[in-house]
């Protein structure tokens, strides 16, 4: 992967569940560690190698994670960031056990961003990264479901409410309360949000609501030619410049 040496390892959650990870060390002296989390239907192989290349070139160790239900990790379902927040916390604690170098920067794509925000907001998880990078986050699960139904011309009411309700019943949580825009109020570390201007799933108004709720240093970068894409693959130069400037300021 990337033509670089890497180490694959499974993080055991319990006797039946695990997270599959790849660790790619910096070429020389490490500037810190970036932990990367994919989006829904994504995986470390599908979504995380392209941003990893940039972080690697910037001198960071990288730890790439498959959430449960994705890639080579256990399970066959996802919860759009709710249960995945536990996976974020497991991974941060795993990095601490390995004594990976600080600062820890958490990077998430879409669902991965929601999981990061919830992991930080849930105080019982007790994680405190030095910085986070949120790519194409959604503000509220209800809105995220509604926008996708609208795109395929399915009436949003009452189908949105039924899907969120039934999905929550299946997985044991209240989907109507799964709102990254609210989780953002608990985030005090520096945060960079990367968003495509043409994203049809999340509006810029919703992105600005997340931005306003963040409590620490925060920055928003809009990629003008991107939708709900893996943004580094749309405008690598702007993506790299934005990330480089942000992490140098940590």
Q: Which of 250, 246, 245, 214 lies closest to 117 in space, CA to CA? A: 214
Spatial separation of the C-alpha atoms in residues 19 and 26, rounded to whole Å: 22
pLDDT of residue 27: 86
Predicted confidence band of residue 5 (pLDDT cuts 50, 70, 90): low
State the DSSP H helix or E strand holding residue 167, giving kind and residue range, or none if neither.
Answer: helix 159-171
Spatial separation of the C-alpha atoms in residues 60 and 221, rounded to whole Å: 21
Q: Indicate the average pLDDT of the chain.
A: 93
Average pLDDT over residues 216-237: 97
pLDDT in tens, 162-189: 887 878 888 888 889 999 999 999 999 9
Average pLDDT over residues 55-59: 95
Predicted confidence band of residue 130 (pLDDT cuts 50, 70, 90): very high
Residues in CB range of 96: below 8 A, 6 or more apart: none
**First vs last Cα of the chain: how many Å apart?**
28
pLDDT of residue 49: 95
Q: Which of 35, 22, 26 lies closest to 91 in space, CA to CA? A: 35
Spatial separation of the C-alpha atoms in residues 28 and 12, rounded to whole Å: 29
State the DSSP H helix or E strand holding residue 240, giving kind and residue range, or none if neither.
Answer: helix 236-248
pLDDT of residue 50: 96
Q: Is the pLDDT of residue 208 over 80?
A: yes
Q: Is the pLDDT of residue 3 over 90?
A: no
Q: What percent of the chain has pLDDT over 70?
A: 98
Q: Is the pLDDT of residue 143 over 60?
A: yes
pLDDT in tens, 79-109: 999 999 999 999 999 999 999 999 999 999 9
Rg of the chain taking only CA atoms, in angstroms: 17
- The pTM score is 0.94
Q: Which of 49, 109, 117 lies closest to 89 in space, CA to CA? A: 117
pLDDT of residue 158: 83
> How do strand 7-12 and strand 18-24 relate by DSSP bridges?
antiparallel
Cβ-in-10-Å burial (0-12, 13-18, 19+) of 170 comes to exposed
Continuous H helices in 61-218: 84-97, 111-121, 141-151, 159-171, 180-183, 204-213
Spatial separation of the C-alpha atoms in residues 116 and 88, rounded to whole Å: 6
pLDDT of residue 151: 75
Average pLDDT over residues 146-155: 78
Spatial separation of the C-alpha atoms in residues 198 and 105, rounded to whole Å: 26
């Amino acid at each position: 992967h990337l033509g670089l040496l890497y180490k694959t390892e499974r993080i055991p959650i319990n006797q039946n569940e695990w997270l599959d990870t790849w660790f790619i060390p910096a070429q020389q002296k490490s500037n810190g560690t970036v932990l990367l989390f994919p989006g829904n239907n994504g995986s470390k192989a599908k979504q995380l190698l392209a941003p990893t290349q940039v972080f690697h070139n910037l001198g960071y160790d990288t730890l790439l994670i498959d959430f449960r239900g994705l890639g080579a990790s256990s399970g066959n379902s996802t919860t759009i960031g709710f249960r995945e927040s536990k996976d974020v916390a497991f991974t941060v604690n795993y990095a601490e056990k390995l004594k990976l170098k600080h600062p820890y920067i958490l990077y998430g794509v879409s669902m991965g961003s929601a999981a990061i925000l919830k992991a930080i907001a849930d105080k019982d998880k007790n994680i405190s990264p030095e910085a986070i990078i949120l790519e194409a986050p959604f503000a509220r699960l209800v809105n995220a479901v509604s926008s996708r139904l609208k795109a395929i011309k399915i009436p949003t009411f009452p189908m949105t409410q039924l899907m969120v309700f039934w999905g929550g019943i299946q997985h044991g949580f209240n989907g109507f309360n799964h709102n990254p825009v609210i989780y953002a109020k608990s985030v005090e570390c520096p945060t960079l949000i990367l968003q495509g201007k043409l994203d049809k799933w999340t509006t810029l108004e919703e992105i600005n609501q997340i931005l306003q709720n963040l409590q620490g240093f925060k920055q928003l970068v809009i990629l003008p030619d991107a939708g709900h894409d893996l943004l580094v693959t749309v405008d690598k130069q702007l993506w790299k410049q934005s990330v480089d400037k942000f992490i140098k300021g940590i």
